[in-house]
Structure 1
Amino acid sequence: MSGGIAGVGVVVTTAGIALAVVGLGAGLTERQRVIAAADAAALAAADTASGAVSGDPCTQAARLAAAHRAALAACRISGAEATVEVHGEFAGIPLTARARAGPPQSDAAAVADPSVDSPDSVRRRSAPIRGEST
């Protein structure tokens, strides 16, 4: 009889772990959806700010965020650069993503904000060829 109880315990534990894994996967998928919404909203706003698309940049950003089932929480336009913040929710847990789109940042901007990599700030190094003296 105790073998049957242990078997039921194993099945219940396995089912609980499976549900937790599925829930975690769904949460991570939702997080990626909010990140994609922020990226799309920033790109739409930057395209509109640059004149490539007609309309209001933040209105376009809100439209794209809504298309991804998210809400535009903040939109800042500076020249042809757009910075947006998008909110979503999963199981009552708020999810937030921020994105920036526009022309590449200059080295001066990268120095002002070292957390943002500039393509010009990447330095290539070459390793010496084997047998070659340095």
Structure 2
Amino acid sequence: MKRTGEYVLGIIGVILSALMTGLGAIFIFFQGSEDFERGIEDEFANDPTLNSGDVEMIMDSMDILGPIGWLLIVAAILGFVFGLIAVLLLKSKPKAAGILFIVGAVLVGLISVGAGFLPGLLYLIAGIMCLVRKPKTDEPVVL
């Protein structure tokens, strides 16, 4: 049985998980950057719709970029590993691949706090397809 749909969804999910690792690394990189914080503060200070309290609250929330970056990296690595193993198992053991896709979808979605929505959704669809699709039988159907 051809499983082209599952392969395509799985490979795209693996690629998006790898890209999510880069996004987490960018968050970690910008977390302690004084120039980045100064540039953001200058941009918000020039916005007439924001008062100084809003700008201060935004700047205080920039400290959470580091932990969010690490969460994204952990979720992306787990998604990458589960997705890659599932893609490799797809031809020989489609049920096991489906379970791995679904576990990867749940982990990516929960650990990344929604940032891994797209790879998680692709893994979930691929996992359901693996578990639901049955190979065609050549036996005639008797009514």
What range describes the TM-score normalised by the shorter chain of this pair?
Answer: 0.3 to 0.5
Q: Compare the two structures and name the one with the higher strand fraction.
A: 1
Higher relative contact order (CA 8 A, sep 6+): 2
Rg bigger for which structure?
Answer: 1
Q: Compare the two structures and name the one with the higher helix fraction.
A: 2
With normalisation by structure 1, the TM-score equals 0.35
With normalisation by structure 2, the TM-score equals 0.33
